[in-house]
């Protein structure tokens, strides 16, 4: 009789732990922050000078570990070196730009999601 109770308790504990793991596992798989959309858009050609580069992500970012920079076609810094995660919207990474001449620009971003997963990427846009 004692053996039966131990087996039942072990099976119940194992079932509970499996259920708990299955509830938590989907959260862990969504750890990375991926871009949702950007302004200016990826690969776009814009006719008006841009004042900001903004990238919205699909999850909250860690402000201390998230960066953005913009370089011109020659690889020279083209932003105001004030990239940051927006205080009112933790999914928005942005940097301001001085008045830029026509040309191609390359945006580089590096973010860390709130759970610690790092994602990096880049894209270009052109000012006519």
Q: Give the tens place of pLDDT for each residue, 69-88.
A: 999 999 999 999 999 999 99
Pairing between strand 118-127 and 84-85?
unpaired
What is the domain range of residue 4? 1-30
Give me the mean pLDDT over the 4-15 stretch.
52
One domain for residues 57 and 19 = no
Assessment of whether the complete model's pTM goes beyond 0.85: no
One domain for residues 18 and 81 = no
One domain for residues 9 and 53 = no
At 8 the pLDDT is 54
Using the CB atoms, write b or e for 28-38: b if 16+ within 10 Å: eeeeebebeeb
One domain for residues 91 and 107 = yes
One domain for residues 59 and 89 = yes
One domain for residues 40 and 55 = yes
Q: Report the number of distinct structural domains present in the chain.
A: 2
Question: Of residues 124 and 28, which shows the higher confidence score?
Answer: 124
One domain for residues 85 and 121 = yes
Is residue 93 a contact partner of residue 110, using CB atoms and an 8 Å limit?
Answer: no
Give the whole-angstrom CA distance, residue 51 versus residue 28.
36
């Amino acid at each position: 009789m004692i053996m039966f109770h131990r087996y039942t308790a072990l099976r119940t504990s194992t079932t509970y732990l499996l259920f708990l793991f299955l509830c938590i596992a989907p959260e862990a798989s969504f750890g990375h922050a991926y871009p949702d959309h950007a302004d200016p858009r990826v690969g776009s050609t814009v006719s008006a000078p841009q004042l900001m580069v903004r990238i919205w992500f699909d999850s909250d970012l860690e402000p201390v570990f998230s960066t953005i920079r913009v370089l011109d076609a020659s690889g020279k810094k083209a932003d105001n070196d004030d990239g940051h995660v927006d205080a009112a919207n933790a999914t928005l990474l942005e940097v301001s730009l001085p008045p830029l001449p026509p040309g191609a620009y390359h945006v580089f971003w590096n973010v860390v999601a709130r759970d610690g997963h790092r994602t990096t990427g880049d894209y270009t846009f052109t000012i006519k």
